[in-house]
Structure 1
């Protein structure tokens, strides 16, 4: 009886371990993956695709809902600056309609003679060069804690000092502007080697609200 009981206990132990491993594979692992995906979504890291599924209906529906949320946020990101949304999430602030008065620094970047340049390029060439230019300007602005507000044709508008308070917002904007100039000079050198049109950047820093009123 003792040997029989020991055998039964061992079999039960192995069977329970097998069931636990199966449940871990079926439920725990997908949930861990979903947790990582939601953490990425919280940081607005939306480029990676969700490429796993699950045989359990409820978990698979949760995976599909996460995929749809990611696609929806990716579309939303095209109309609202990602850095602004990320700052609101990190500071746990809620976007509200009413405004508040703040001293901020506003950045405008414009390509000189853009109309003349665009007339000499094909749409594909123009799009490729503008995309490269926008990436450099945007990454530099983000590097110095700025928020890209919008792209207007060939122009870039950004600001510092909102919604997160920055005591040295003017200094950061100036550093970003100087680095943008250097980056554009490097970009022009590379484009010359590739026989592309040069883009001369015109920068203007405005300290809101007083200088805007002037």
Structure 2
């Protein structure tokens, strides 16, 4: 079964829009795990516009499943992750002013940088994953960095699937097959939803984990968070 990690950034966004501590990020993390989620993901950015660095620290004592921290490994992010020592760190090459992640790493161009970063995290017992586009040369490049896993950037698939183009899954399947040959673990995330998650899961061999935030929270406004988590878990079986 593919694990579901719930990205709780949007809960922090809602809290920050009003000030105070409603909704409470720590309580929400506790609840999604109680409802069946097998992991919690956060993506703190330097401007702290949603998840704050202190949130990431406080969540360490709350997350009893898998704790995944995503972000661009700038010095402040590196220091944060090394202090917390989560289950997994996902390296994402997002610019500071990016609204959301919009591309995977060029694992060939940035090989030496990624090798050094991953070595540091491995020395501290932290599993690493690299955010990548479904391009075979980039999967090969990821293997050369020493990473444990890749996270397939799925926006392209989600967009085309919504338009009825199921053939958009092809590069993801090919990338997954190659990753399996390289003994790289496979995660996936970005714009996955109740509409497309089952099709994606059924076609990606060896899919270990999906990280879902925006769609899951939006769907929960209508259907309820506990119900939505169970719906995802059923589709991921």
Greater percentage in strand: 2
Greater percentage in helix: 1
- What TM-score, normalized to structure 2? 0.22
Structure of larger gyration radius: 1
- What TM-score, normalized to structure 1? 0.24
